[in-house]
Amino acid sequence: MRILYTLLLILVSPFFFYSLYKSKPNKPKFGVRWKEHFGFTPQLQHAINAPIWIHAVSVGEVLAVTPLIKTFKKLNPTVSIIITTTTSTGAAEAEKLGGLVEHRYTPVDFSFAVNGFISAIQPQALFIMETELWPNTLHCCQVNNIPVTIINARLSARSEARYKKFPFVFSLLLKNINYILAQTKQDAQRFMNLGLKTEQVSVTGSIKFDIKVNNEQLTQASLLRHSLGQDRPIWIAASTHKGEDEQLIKAHQQLLSKKPNALLILVPRHPERFLSVQILAEQTGLSVTTRSSQQAITENTQVYLGDSMGEMMVLLGAADVCFIAGSLIGDKVGGHNLLEPAALKKPILTGPSYFNFKQITEQLVELGACTVCNDSSEITHSLMQLFDNKKMRLEQGEIAFSFVQQNQGALQKTIDKM
């Protein structure tokens, strides 16, 4: 079965590599390091023992696993850690961890590439963030006696149904996974429904709840708010994807007709889209200032484009209301993490497609801290309600913050299993 899978991988790999290596504005270059994807992996420079291997595919996963790495390293200072990413943007984020880790690009899921990586690195264990599962990688780890643990694991009802339709696909993975550390009881049950044994699955919660908003972030957010305007209504559309910006800009235009001094902080998910989103906003007649330009924001600025990396908490902190994108384009994305604005005591809006964060979203909706908006008109309506009612804004923010606090602790539970 793996032979058939590998043949299919050979067929689709040219398209994967084209997308991965295609040059785009603001996208970091791979340079000569592209060879690491094929198992030509430089040995670690600072490892004093067999490292643990943590895989986080891109920026979002690196950001989520960063607190885990920092805490684990504090408790185990002599243990070496290698973090792998697939994307160059993920690599740029991983570099911010400095001497806590060494970074390499993960090998593509061909056995020769994975074995080349393992030979160079000699990891003692592999910890995969969420559900980035590749059959040949898992197989090569088991052959080399490298235990595999999926941390912060989640499995949606949709994914479970797909695996049940094609059980041979999950069987390729099942026999090579040692442990699953699931976010929720529902996730754990879905994994067991697919054949994992009870003793292989633990519920540790989501480490994304263990958000620590540091003083520097709060200070930077306060300074940014001051420069944007203390008294004007400000909302943020965070982590937008292609096909969403038009709807969000339309919502903002509708808002401006009622609140002319309103400001939208618009933050595309991927850096290669920064320029195209700026052009889109300008073509609609809106006045745009970009963060990268460091130009002064005036009362005439209507859109502030967050074209920077690693500053989401600062940008969220400067807004009154947060719309979490990835949720307005049908089944393509499935939403993004609502816990960052919740940790900042912000009322939250999201679109109707949030299946990747279904339980968290529904809990926040039930508590009254999040509102689901189906289109631009509903977004504008919700914004108007919140901007016209400061008490409502503050109450929703406090409820969201309490929700985060009540669910913290997954970080330590996960470390206890490592």
Which residue shows structure tokens 């790495």?
69
Alpha carbon distance 121, 131 (integer Å): 22
Find the catalytic residue in 61, 102, 130, 244: 61
Q: Is 216 a catalytic residue?
A: no
Residue 201 near residue 221, CB atoms below 8 Å? no
Tokens encoding 380: 């504008």
User: What number of other Cβ atoms are within 10 A of residue 295's Cβ?
Assistant: 10
Q: Is 232 helix (H, G, I), strand (E, B) or coil?
A: coil
Interhelix angle 376-388/390-406, nearest 10 degrees: 100
Residue 229 near residue 262, CB atoms below 8 Å? no
**Which residues contact residue 294 at a Cβ distance below 8 angstroms, ignoring those fewer than 6 apart?**
none
User: What number of other Cβ atoms are within 10 A of residue 158's Cβ?
Assistant: 13
Residue 100 near residue 119, CB atoms below 8 Å? no
**DSSP letter at 27?**
P
User: For residue 203, what are the CA distances in angstroms to 183, 332, 340?
Assistant: 6, 28, 22
Alpha carbon distance 6, 4 (integer Å): 5
Interhelix angle 135-143/111-121, nearest 10 degrees: 50
Q: Which residues are catalytic?
A: 61
